[in-house]
Amino acid sequence: MINVIFDFLYYLLYKVYAHFNERSAKSTAAAIVGGMQAMNVLTVVMLIQSIVNPKGKIGKLIAVVLFIFFQVVTYIRYMYRKSYSVKVIEKEWLEVTESARERRKVFFFLYGAISIVGFFGLAIYLGFKKIGIDWGNTIFMRIVNIDMIL
């Protein structure tokens, strides 16, 4: 089931990038899907790490290895395996009703937005927390001057 979600995401990204550059659309879509998968796994790892060992950190090597792993696996899946070609996925996509396709497009947009905001937001939050920046006394709060609003 989860593979079908990424297959359809790959297909929709392929369609978007095919309008700009047909030759690189497949590899671009595969790279984005691989990056999204890596970001999701790294987000879960960061959450677990922050609960288990709040003072610890995720090594850069682990992050790079995870990123490369998902890039390679996703690239091989969509570029070299015929059962995951654009034509096969397109056929499956067209078998779904139009209303279901529209709902899935909204789901994929939300999935992408939540994944990106969740990954970078958590990374920034944990980074600030590790270096001891108090969220109540950040530059943003000074600019907004929350006391004036209250």
Residue pLDDT, tens place only, 97-142: 999 999 999 999 999 999 999 999 888 888 877 777 665 555 555 5
Confidence at residue 138, expressed as pLDDT on a 0 to 100 scale:
58
Gap between the Cα atoms of 60 and 73, Å rounded: 20
Q: Please give the DSSP secondary-structure letter assigned to residue 83.
A: G
Are the C-beta atoms of 47 and 122 separated by less than 8 Å? yes
Q: Which sequence spans correspond to the domains of the chain?
A: 2-149
- Confidence label for 65 from pLDDT (cuts 50, 70 and 90): very high
According to the model, what pLDDT value does residue 52 have?
Answer: 86
Q: Confidence class of residue 67 from pLDDT cuts 50, 70 and 90?
A: very high
Q: In sequence order, what DSSP letters do the residues of 37-52 get, joined into one string?
A: HHHHHHHHHHHHHHHH
Q: Are residues 57 and 46 in contact, defined by beta-carbon separation less than 8 angstroms?
A: no
Token pair for 74: 């996703």
Using CA atoms, how far apart are residues 71 and 96, in angstroms rounded to an integer?
Answer: 28
**Tokens 């397109």 — which residue?**
90
